């Protein structure tokens, strides 16, 4: 037990080195801000505020696969080249936010963008273009955003890191019911049998092995989010992974530390007891 704990502390130390490799100490992200993305490829150029995208708002309703495969959002911010004209044509945000699509309760989703709008429509624009340039203005909006997050998070099972929500447990217990198919956008796929959970050996002696579950990941990602863009090899053991690569945003790091639970929570993955 002592040896395992020592090895785990060593891994945590390596994680700290990976995070501070650039010589900059990273500030802990607040729970309500974890997973938030600033989209500013064209906003400032067009004279409007950047878009503040809150993953948790969409994650409580949709699988990752719907947005990143069926709709086609890039996995990294500002890499997709999203423009207002694309939204108006029904792409990206406009695939759902078109003023016509309805949600679970029958309520229509607001339209994302329009080339014709009045002063009153500005409130609708600011629902997405909400990253104010002034710190004072942002602080006023933060109170409303934080309350909305807390009202939701207080009803969810708790997690040690990230935004404090155990999304996997919330989905397992039915507290959230994920939409994985959007009529007119998604392709109906025949169900596939998941591989059984398998272990991935740790490179540091005494550290518990990783138990990887395809079943847990396919609920949210299907197969397409991970293969082949993130994990090229589909045969077990054909790819070699290192924590340095993962902390640099490769492999598991493409999602974990950004939206999925942070990698510093070692016990979430390293779960197989040392013999």
Share of the chain above pLDDT 70, in %: 88
Looking at domain 34-153, its CATH class is: alpha beta
Q: Which residues contact 23 (CB under 8 A, 6 or more apart)?
A: none
- Whether the per-residue pLDDT at 241 is higher than 70: the answer is yes
Question: What is the H or E stretch that residue 211 is in?
Answer: strand 209-212
Question: Any idea which of 59-68, 148-157, 228-237 has the lowest mean pLDDT?
Answer: 228-237
First to last CA, the chain: 10
The order of strands in the sheet holding 209-212 is 198-200, 209-212, 270-272
- Whether the per-residue pLDDT at 249 is higher than 80: the answer is yes
Looking at domain 2-29+189-272, its CATH class is: alpha beta
Supply the pLDDT for residue 9: 45
Dihedral sign for Cα 247, 248, 251, 256, please: positive
pTM of the entire predicted model:
0.84
- Whether the per-residue pLDDT at 23 is higher than 60: the answer is no
Residue 20 near residue 27, CB atoms below 8 Å = no
Ranges of each domain in the chain: 2-29+189-272, 34-153
Q: Which residues contact 153 (CB under 8 A, 6 or more apart)?
A: 31, 32, 163, 164, 165
Question: Any idea which of 51-55, 110-114, 168-172 has the lowest mean pLDDT?
Answer: 110-114
pLDDT tens digits along 24-42? 556 789 999 999 999 998 8
Whole-angstrom Cα distance, residue 211 to residue 191?
A: 23
Q: Which tokens go with 62?
A: 């949709």
């Amino acid at each position: 037990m002592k040896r395992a704990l020592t090895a785990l502390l060593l891994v945590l130390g390596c994680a700290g080195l990976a995070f501070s490799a650039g010589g900059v100490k990273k500030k802990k992200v607040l729970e309500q801000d974890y997973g938030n993305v600033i989209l500013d490829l064209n906003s400032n150029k067009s004279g409007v505020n950047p878009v503040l995208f809150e993953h948790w708002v969409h994650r409580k309703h949709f699988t990752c696969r719907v947005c990143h495969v069926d709709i086609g959002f890039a996995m990294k911010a500002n890499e997709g080249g999203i423009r207002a004209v694309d939204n108006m044509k029904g792409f990206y945000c406009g695939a759902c936010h078109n003023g016509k699509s309805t949600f679970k309760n029958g309520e229509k989703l607001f339209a994302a963008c329009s080339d014709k709008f009045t002063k009153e429509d500005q409130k609708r624009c600011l629902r997405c273009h909400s990253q104010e340039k002034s710190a004072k203005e942002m602080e006023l909006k933060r109170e409303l955003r934080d309350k909305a997050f807390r009202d939701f998070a207080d009803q969810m099972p708790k997690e040690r890191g990230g935004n404090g929500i155990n999304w996997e447990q919330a989905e397992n217990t039915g507290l959230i019911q994920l939409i994985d198919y959007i009529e007119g956008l998604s392709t109906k796929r025949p169900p596939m049998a998941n591989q059984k959970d398998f272990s991935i050996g740790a490179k540091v002696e005494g550290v518990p092995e990783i138990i990887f579950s395809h079943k847990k990941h396919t609920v949210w990602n299907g197969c397409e989010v991970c293969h082949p863009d993130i994990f090229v090899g589909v045969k077990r053991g054909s790819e070699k992974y290192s924590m340095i690569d993962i902390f640099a945003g490769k492999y598991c790091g493409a999602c974990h530390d950004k939206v999925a639970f942070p990698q510093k929570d070692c016990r979430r993955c390293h779960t197989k007891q040392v013999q």
